[in-house]
């Protein structure tokens, strides 16, 4: 069995923390090995997982683009080597960071080779969690394929929900095949307003769960502690997240 899980949301909604918790849940129930893919140009997934990285896939792409005339190594081989160097190995999961988006000039050839190499790499991992930025540039250009589960993460504000709706519809425009798509309301204080409930109902969005605002996670962030390791007994947010994953992260 295999499962590809995507996360997206505007900055500040806590999507990367939830991506880390999803990885923790998969490892807990024995769905391994997992590849954690940080596809957000503002890469933070390593911090959430308590890992460090030295190289990104964007570095490989830049190196290939600038290696015109170097015949000592083929570009395919160069990308393959740099991709393997970029993978950080853990116990139950490995991590790869996509890095910064493209600069000036044409990246068509570099992206084409990188996409092929990344596809082969992904096939080695039956479980994958992809932490996307709101625009999902890397997904649209490099890994636009199939996802089993796609979580759109929002806070409870009208502005946050508007951003979530854009992402919700963007995956359809990008023609990414998704089996199940869910909305998570994160960092909730109190109850959902009737206005927000009305928007969700009108758009036909599948709200899979609401996660409370949590000072335990906030304090861990402030101390630079990996939030994916937090104990659910002391964190209402972790408890709520795990309940969501228990409902959704199962093979169908």
* Per-residue confidence (pLDDT) for residue 141, from 0 to 100: 58
- At 126-145, the pLDDT tens digits run 999 999 887 666 566 555 46
Q: What is the DSSP letter of 224?
A: T
Q: How confident is the model at residue 245 (pLDDT cuts 50, 70, 90)?
A: very high
Q: Residues 54-96: pLDDT tens digits?
A: 998 888 777 877 765 555 677 778 888 888 999 999 999 999 9
Query: Taking residues 36-63, what's their average pLDDT?
Result: 89
Residue 174 has pLDDT above 50, yes or no: yes
Is the pLDDT score of 103 beyond 70?
Answer: no
Are 157 and 14 contacting, i.e. CB atoms less than 8 angstroms apart?
no
pLDDT at residue 116, rounded to an integer: 77
Span 170-182, average pLDDT: 88
* 73-76: Cβ within 8 A, 24+ apart: 75/109, 75/110, 75/113, 76/113, 76/117
pLDDT at 252 over 50: no
Query: Bigger pLDDT: 21 or 108?
Result: 21
What's residue 93's pLDDT?
96
Residue 112 or 49, more confident: 49
**CA 230 to chain CA mean position, Å:** 19
Of 26, 96, 105, 5, the closest CA to residue 55 belongs to 96
- Per DSSP, the three-state class of 232 is coil
Domains of the chain: 3-248 (3.40.50.300)
Residue showing tokens 């170097």: 70
Q: How many CA atoms lie within 13 A of 114 on its CB side?
A: 27
Q: What is the pLDDT of residue 90?
A: 94
Q: Is the dihedral of CA 186, 192, 193, 196 positive or negative?
A: positive
For 211, the token pair is: 């996660």
List, in order, residues 6 or more apart from 16 with CB less than 8 Å away: 7, 40, 44, 45, 48, 131
Average pLDDT (173-189) is: 91
pLDDT at 118 over 50: yes
**Mean pLDDT of all residues belonging to the chain:** 86
| pLDDT more than 90, % of the chain | 48
CA dist 196 and 221 (Å) reads: 28
**What percent of the chain is helix, strand and coil (3-state, nearest 5)?**
45, 20, 35
**Contacts of the segment 200-206: beta carbons below 8 A, 24+ positions apart:** 200/161, 203/165, 203/168, 205/165, 205/168, 206/180, 206/181, 206/182
Per-residue model confidence (pLDDT) at position 160: 86
* 195 has a pLDDT exceeding 90: no
pLDDT for the residue 68: 55
Helix, strand or coil, per DSSP, at residue 234: coil
Q: Please report how the helices 57-65 and 108-122 are oriented relative to each other, as an axis angle in degrees rounded to 10.
A: 140
pLDDT of residue 131: 92
50-64, 105-119, 217-231: the lowest-pLDDT one: 105-119
Query: What pTM did the predictor assign?
Result: 0.90
């Amino acid at each position: 069995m295999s499962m590809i899980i995507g996360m997206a949301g505007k900055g500040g909604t806590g999507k990367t923390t939830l991506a880390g918790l999803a990885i923790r849940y998969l490892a807990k129930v024995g769905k391994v090995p997992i590849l954690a893919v940080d596809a957000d140009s503002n890469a933070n997934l390593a911090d959430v997982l308590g890992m460090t990285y030295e190289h990104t896939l964007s570095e490989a792409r830049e190196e290939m683009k600038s290696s015109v005339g170097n015949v000592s190594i083929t570009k395919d081989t160069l990308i393959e080597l740099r991709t393997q160097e970029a993978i950080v190995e853990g116990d139950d999961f490995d991590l790869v960071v996509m890095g910064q988006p493209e600069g000036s000039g044409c990246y068509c050839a570099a992206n084409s080779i990188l996409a092929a190499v990344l596809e082969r790499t992904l096939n080695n991992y039956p479980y994958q969690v992809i932490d996307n930025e709101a625009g999902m540039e890397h997904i649209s250009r490099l890994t636009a394929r199939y996802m089993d589960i796609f979580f759109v993460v929002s806070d409870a504000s009208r502005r946050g929900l508007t951003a979530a709706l854009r992402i919700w519809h963007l995956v359809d425009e990008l023609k990414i095949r998704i089996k199940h798509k869910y909305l998570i309301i994160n960092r909730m204080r109190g109850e959902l307003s009737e206005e927000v409930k009305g928007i969700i109902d009108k758009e036909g969005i599948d709200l899979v769960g609401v996660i409370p605002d949590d000072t335990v996670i906030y304090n861990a962030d402030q101390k630079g502690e990996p939030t994916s390791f937090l104990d659910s007994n002391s964190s209402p947010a972790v408890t709520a997240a795990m309940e969501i994953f228990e409902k959704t992260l199962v093979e169908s």
